[in-house]
A = this chain, B = another copy of it.
């Protein structure tokens, strides 16, 4: 069973990953309702919204209102996403979020060219700009991420050597700015990973950089999310991004209806059943998942919210034995 962790940290991205992709207009009040529900589950971190161009992502035009509206719960970190100065300024201006910086490189140049119109070299310059921006606003930075670390729809399989090169580049960029990257996230941006790929890439990064705490950002587009998370845990990974009810979808899937991020409550379920702590209340996160489904108005991919928890069945079995 290799070295499964005793506890894993599951960071919620549903409100951001989920609502940006939904077609139907979702009212600000309902977005806030989901965040407030998630706050009660024991989650340590919730990404609540995205401060991006409202013209490009109309579903996120109410970012400020969402930030203003939700109730902060003691002990929970609330984060936001931004891609530039303007977004960061908007996030800071809410005075409601936990502002932390992260540096991101993408392993695939073709993906970069397509999505951000930058070469790998131009992207390195962009990261230097982002570091300056964070420094200007006194935002602490301790996290880096490599996107498309397992493969890319436009470039194909990603060689392990390329991922290692990106990690080194991130560390070099951090070092030249006197920053220490402590957590490194490997993102399966376009759902190319299977457990074999997780073992290969995580193994290589862990061997070369044993001091880095690794984190996985997994998409479930091809149904591998939970198996990949399990493979990650076998490799000692203890931090996972996830989305309640599997909110998210995938703009790169070949058919509509493909799943988004790995589902929070399914991951919590697996962990608890295997004796791995998460600090999250499974029944409460299932309730949040059902709420998310009600909010988007169509079935979401999460499984445990449909299949039900085993602890409920265990309680019923125990109650029946008392009769």
Contact = CB atoms under 8 A, between A and B. Distances in A.
Interface in A303-318: 303-308, 310, 312-314, 317-318
Given A157-B314, A227-B227, A306 B258 contact: yes
Interface in A217-245: 220-224, 226-227, 229-231
A224 B226 contact: yes
A203 B82 CA distance: 47
A43 interface: no
Given A231-B230, A257-B306, A310-B192, A266 B223 contact: yes
A187 to B, nearest CB: 16
A195 B317 contact: no
Contacts of A195: 230, 270, 274
Contact of A273 (B194, B221, B303, B305): B194
A259 interface: yes
A312 B270 contact: no
A151 interface: yes
B222 A304 contact: yes
A197 interface: yes
11 contacts: A1-B199, A151-B310, A156-B314, A194-B270, A224-B226, A224-B270, A226-B227, A227-B229, A253-B306, A254-B308, A257-B306
Interface string A249-260: 010011111110
Contacts of A220: 303
Interface of A: 1, 151, 153-157, 191-192, 194-197, 199, 220-224, 226-227, 229-231, 250, 253-259, 263, 266, 269-270, 273-275, 299, 302-308, 310, 312-314, 317-318, 320
Given A226-B226, A230-B227, A303-B223, A253 B156 contact: no
A194 B254 CA distance: 29
Determine how many copies of this chain the complex contains.
Answer: 2
Nearest to A274: B196
A115 to B, nearest CB: 16
A101 B269 CA distance: 37
A294 to B, nearest CB: 13
Given A195-B274, A270-B195, A308-B255, A299 B299 contact: yes
Contacts of A254: 306-308, 312
A266 B222 contact: yes
A303 B197 contact: no
Contacts of A308: 222, 253-255
Contacts of A318: 156
Contact of A227 (B197, B222, B257, B270): B270
Contacts of A197: 273
Contacts of A230: 195, 227, 230-231
Given A1-B199, A255-B305, 6 more contacts: A192-B310, A196-B275, A224-B303, A227-B230, A227-B270, A250-B307
Nearest to A200: B1
B258 A313 contact: no
